Amino acid sequence: MLDTSARPFFARLAHRRAPLTAVLVFGLTLVSALGACNSETVAVAENRELRTALVRQGVGPYPVAPQPPAAQVALGQALFFDPELSGNRDVACATCHLPSQATGDGLSLPIGTGGAGLGPDRQADPTRPRVARNAPDVLFRGSSAWITVFWDGRVWGATGPGYMATADAYLPHDLENILAAQALFPLTAREEMRGQVGDTDVFGRPNELAAIDDVDLHAIWAAVVDRVTAFPDYRALLTEAYPAVAPEQVTIAHIANALGAFEVSIGNSPASPWDRYLGGDDDALTDAARRGALLFYGAGGCSSCHSGALLSDQLYHNLAVPQIAPGKVPVQPLDPGRAMVTGAPEDMFAFRTPPLRNVAVTGPWMHNGAYTTLEGAVRHHLDPATALKTYDVEQLSPELRAAVVTDSASAGGILRAAAVLKTVDPLVKAPRSLTEAQVDDLLAFLEALTDPATADLAALVPESVPSGLPVVGP
């Protein structure tokens, strides 16, 4: 329970300003001077309180990565926007990580191969499985402080050669960072980029990537390398990026490293109001955002999970977010979250704490986009059990409404809300009541995490790509 008594003395004093000034008979000029003086005093006191909390909690500026070599970035940029990397030649990384959507896709659940259109208007091919989880943005993911990727952290490791990962033995050994490791996986996912057995590509030719056995990741990656190196322009870009590597020595690691380099380069200059504040600028935040930050790092309890420089503890918590089909094999229509990696019952429905930079412009929110307003996502935290039971499916796009896994649909025993609530995180279990004004302040803080550059990232889209296929974007 939060009330004004939790607020600093000066803030309370400010609220009493009107009655105080009313009894003062010093004339208008002096009254307004006092007012200005008081709000400045409040700002000073709040800044002091906030900076103390940040120091105590070890919250520092985003740890920027070394800028990757320009030639690798250029290669990675071409690859990122080129549908040649997908089995049916119809989907690029950018299909789900669009510059115009701050590198998300604006959908609750992404639509991979077979879809039509881009962004929030993209339409699914109803005969194909939907991707099970929301596409996160890919900005500010390149720091060496990141040791996890994906909502369930199934790829993890420290930056540098020698990754630890679930697919440890399978992964190439010469990956440069965790983004490079991540980039290997969408290429192999059938519903995202690879396609189904028997598919033909946009030219009507057989999809050779889809024909490869699911477990033979190396064969899939080798086939992607063959596709890329078939184009003289890619061979030239590869030689510039890796001068010591002959075209026939190119491996999937070079392609993955270049994709990682591009992603590092586009999310490596923190410039949001909050980042300016962390850089020492006391005036970077609006009054509301500063009050919101005090709640976030104080009585709101947000920073127990959205902690540190990344705004994520990189740990897994069950927030009892409504489940939306298709979910994950072998427990479809459910998505077990972290339990898929650990097999531990206590990890059921737990997902990695998402980092929050640019969160205001990267909806829909949560691991499956269950919330289509930022306010809805924030309010869910305040009382997850009630939010789950009273979830409004109307906010989803029509074709996903029926996919919400509800008690009635699961009369056959698939899911009761009780099952999801069983492992709900103790940190959010007890309902937290915030006033309307406090929720507004929290939202103002989250808005202050928006990098102004996200308003127009269209310049990231290359004019053409070496395959000659239509560039995916913006």
CB of 391 to ligand HEC, least distance (A): 13
Q: Does 367 bind ligand HEC (CB under 6 A)?
A: yes
CA distance 231 to 205: 18
Candidate segments 8-16, 22-30, 147-155, 264-272, binder of ligand HEC by CB under 6 A: 147-155
Candidate segments 39-47, 203-211, 371-379, 384-392, binder of ligand HEC by CB under 6 A: 371-379
Which of 429, 339, 421, 321 minimizes the C-alpha distance to 380? Answer: 321
Smaller CB distance to ligand HEC: residue 110 or 466?
110
Q: Does 377 bind ligand HEC (CB under 6 A)?
A: yes
Q: Does 195 bind ligand HEC (CB under 6 A)?
A: no
Smaller CB distance to ligand HEC: residue 72 or 95?
95
Q: Does 297 bind ligand HEC (CB under 6 A)?
A: no
Smaller CB distance to ligand HEC: residue 49 or 177?
177
Total binding residues toward ligand HEC, as defined by CB under 6 A = 54
CA distance 114 to 69: 35
Candidate segments 178-186, 206-214, 387-395, 396-404, binder of ligand HEC by CB under 6 A: 178-186
Member of 49, 192, 201, 275 binding ligand HEC (CB under 6 A): 192
Q: Which of residues 411-450 bind ligand HEC (CB under 6 A)?
A: 425, 427-428, 442, 446
Member of 74, 171, 310, 319 binding ligand HEC (CB under 6 A): 319
Which residues of this chain interact with ligand HEC, rule CB under 6 A?
A: 91, 93, 95-97, 110, 112, 131, 133, 135-136, 138, 141, 149-152, 179, 182-183, 186-187, 192-193, 259, 263, 296, 300-302, 304-306, 317, 319, 321, 351, 353-354, 356, 359, 362, 365-367, 374, 377-378, 381, 425, 427-428, 442, 446
